[in-house]
Chains A and B, each alone.
Chain A
Amino acid sequence: MKPRHRKLAAIGGGVVALGIVVALVLTAFQKNLVFFFSPTQVAAKEAPLGRTFRIGGIVEPGSVKRDGVDVRFVVTDTAQGLPVVFSGALPDLFREGKMVVAQGQLREDGVFHAREVLAKHDENYMPPEAKEAVEKAHQAAKKGKP
C-alpha cells in the first residue's frame, strides 16, 4: 500500500467509526429526540405525566367544538383518541382530519390542556381542482362499499 492509500483508508475507517458512534448515541437518546407523543403512547403511559410535553395526531373529524374562547377537539392516531382543550388562536392550517402538534399538560381529568397548537403540514402539494377530484373519488369509493 502506498502512503496515500493508507491515509485514504484511515480517513474512510475514521468516518465509519464516527458514524457508528453517532448512531449509538442517537439510539441511546431516542426517547429525548421525539418531538411529540402519539395518543397510543399517552394511553400506554409512555408520556411524562405532570410535565409539559407534546402530542401529535389527526384532529378527529366532527370532534371540534368551540365554547367561548375554548376549543375542544380530539387528537387521534386512529387507534386511540385524546381529548384536548385549548384557548387561543389556532393556526390557519388547523383542519379536521389534518395533523396537529399540541404542547401542554395532561391533567387528572384525562384531558390534555394545550398551551400551544401547531399545524403539521403533509408532504402533498396539489391544486384545488385536483383536491376536489381526489375527494370525489374518495366519496365514490365509500358509496361503492356496502
Chain B
Amino acid sequence: MNWFWYASPQTFDPLAGRMAPWFALAAALLAAAGLYVGFFVAPTDAQQGEVYRIIFIHVPAAWLSMFIYLVMAFWAALGLAFNTRLSGMMASALAPTGALFTFIALWTGSLWGRPTWGTYWVWDARLTSELVLLFLYLGFIALQAAIDDPRRADRAGALLAIVGAVNIPIIHYSVVWWNTLHQGASVSVTRGASMQSQMLIAMLLMALGFWMYSIAVTLVRVRCIMREREA
C-alpha cells in the first residue's frame, strides 16, 4: 500500500468527507453512553460526594489536550521532513480542537478545585504546565495566522509545535517529579486503575467519545482549509 497516495489533498478530500459523519456519530453515541454511566450508574465518591463527577469531563479533556498536541507535532514534523502539503493542513486543523480541550481541562479543574482543595488555582507544576500548553496552542494558531504565505506559515508553525512537544512529558510526569497539589494519576498503564470500575468505564467512554469528536471535527476543518488555500 502506498501511504503517500492519501498525502495529496485531492485524494484525501473525498475520503475525509465520507469518514467525518461516521466519526461524528460514534462521538455522539459514546458521549451519550459515557454521560449516562457517569451521572446515573456510577456511585458517589466516599470522600468528595457528587463533586467528583466532573472527572468524566475533566480527565478525558486533559488526556485529549496532550494527545492532540502530540499528533499535531507528528504531522508538523512530517510536513517539515517530507514537504507534504497535507501535513501542515492537518496540524492547523488540529490546533483549535486541542486548545478547546486544554481550556475545558483547566476550566473544569478550577471548578473542581474550589470545593475540594479550597482554591480555584494554584501555581503548582501540573497546573502551570497545562496552562503553558494552552499558550502553545494559542501561539501556534496566532503564528500561523500572522504569516500570509501558507507554506511559510506551516514551516514556522511546525517548528513551534515540535519545540512545544517537550512540554507534554513535563505535564504527564509533573505529579511524579515534584510535590504538587494536583493528585497523581488514577489510571495508569502499569498499575491499573485506583477507581471503581463503573467510574472507570464512564471515564473511558467519554475519552473515546472526545477522541472520535476530535477526528470528526479535524476532518471537517481540514477540508475547509483545503478549500481556503486552493481557492
Contacts and interface: CB of A to CB of B under 8 A. Distances in A.
Interface residues of A, number: 43
Given A11-B81, A19-B166, A125 B45 contact: yes
A91 interface: yes
A120 B102 CA distance: 22
A33 B117 CA distance: 20
Given A125-B195, A130-B196, A120 B181 contact: yes
Nearest to A99: B183
Nearest to B42: A127
Interface stretch (B6-14, B16-24, B46-54): B46-54
Contact of B81 (A8, A26, A119): A8
Interface in A11-27: 11, 14-15, 18-19, 22, 26
A126 B117 contact: no
B185 interface: yes
B194 interface: yes
A136 interface: no
Contact of A124 (B118, B119, B195): B195
B45 A120 contact: no
Contacts of B47: 93, 95, 98, 121, 131
Interface residues of B, number: 39
Given A11-B81, A22-B166, A121-B183, A127 B44 contact: yes
A37 B178 CA distance: 11
B122 A118 contact: yes
B125 interface: yes
Contacts of A120: 117, 181, 183
B163 A18 contact: yes
B185 A123 contact: yes
Contacts of A15: 162, 165-166
Interface string A31-56: 00111111000000000000000001
Interface string B103-141: 000000000000111110010110000000000000000
A128 interface: yes
A119 B80 contact: no
Contact of B116 (A14, A33, A91): A91
B181 A118 contact: yes
B118 A119 contact: yes
Interface string B149-178: 000000000000011011000100000011
A67 interface: no
A6 B177 CA distance: 35
B66 interface: no
B179 A92 contact: no
A4 interface: yes
B5 interface: no
B86 to A, nearest CB: 15
Given A30-B178, A35-B125, 17 more contacts: A22-B170, A34-B178, A35-B180, A36-B179, A36-B181, A92-B116, A116-B118, A117-B118, A118-B118, A118-B119, A122-B184, A123-B185, A124-B186, A125-B45, A126-B45, A126-B46, A130-B46
Interface of B: 43-48, 52, 55, 77, 80-83, 115-119, 122, 124-125, 162-163, 165-166, 170, 177-181, 183-186, 194-196, 199
